Chain A
Amino acid sequence: SQQGEEDPQALSIQEGENATMNCSYKTSINNLQWYRQNSGRGLVHLILIRSNEREKHSGRLRVTLDTSKKSSSLLITASRAADTASYFCATGGGAQKLVFGQGTRLTINP
């Protein structure tokens, strides 16, 4: 079964607002990763949070991890039109094996 499940499936907000998307997973993890994919293109790695970390920041991105609830969230602050993309969480399914969540399609409206 899919390791990571995300919600919402789609999110539409105004430019400048914050966007939050959530990911839940089922088994124990070493780390959890977030990726962005612009329409029809390759994925770009955004951030990796280890299982012993609770929060991590990178620019306008803030990721939290709650291993007791098996969940993570990605917050994008002060959104821009260029943030329009699909966002996927990914967890390890074994050595060198990533399993991706279903993804959140984020649309930033000008």
Chain B
Amino acid sequence: DTEVTQTPKHLVMGMTNKKSLKCEQHMGHRAMYWYKQKAKKPPELMFVYSYEKLSINESVPSRFSPECPNSSLLNLHLHALQPEDSALYLCASSQVQGQGNYEQYFGPGTRLTVT
């Protein structure tokens, strides 16, 4: 199984809402990632979990809160978002390599609209 699944596919939320994005993989990968992608731009890394521990936080605002409950699951909790946070949120996973980079497997993304 080489699939990364993400739910929901689409999400519309108000600025006062709390919602969560979910990501799951069963490839035995021990690195999982959240990216944010605006239209016609490349993905921008937000967070990396390595062996279920947060290893990289790219100075993401605290209204985004990641969580890795186990080696297969990755959540992104959203609270008090701003309209400029509207974007495609991509989850990815990969093997862990010391200082290098393996290929990453991406989910289909969650299209988030903040109203």
Query: Interface code B80-97, partner A: CB below 8 Å = 1, 0 otherwise?
Result: 000000001010101011
Q: How far is the CA of A2 from the CA of B45 in the complex (A)?
A: 12
Stretch at the interface among B59-67, B69-77, B107-115: B107-115
Residue from B31, B55, B107 in contact with A42 in the complex, judged by beta carbons closer than 8 Å: B107
B contacts with A, residue count (CB < 8 A): 31
A8 CB → nearest B CB, Å: 14
Q: Which residue of B lies closest to A98 (CB)?
A: B101
CB<8 Å pairs between A and B, sample of 16: A30-B100, A30-B101, A42-B4, A42-B109, A43-B90, A45-B105, A90-B101, A92-B101, A93-B45, A95-B99, A95-B101, A96-B97, A96-B101, A98-B45, A98-B101, A100-B42
Residues of chain A whose beta carbon lies under 8 Å from any beta carbon of chain B: 2, 30-31, 33, 35, 40-45, 48, 88, 90, 92-103, 105
Residues of chain B whose beta carbon lies under 8 Å from any beta carbon of chain A: 4, 6, 31, 33, 40-43, 45, 48, 50, 55-56, 88, 90, 92, 94, 96-101, 103-109, 111
Known pairs A2-B42, A45-B103, A96-B56. 14 more at Cβ < 8 A? A40-B88, A41-B109, A43-B92, A43-B104, A88-B42, A92-B100, A93-B45, A94-B99, A95-B97, A96-B33, A96-B55, A100-B42, A101-B42, A103-B42
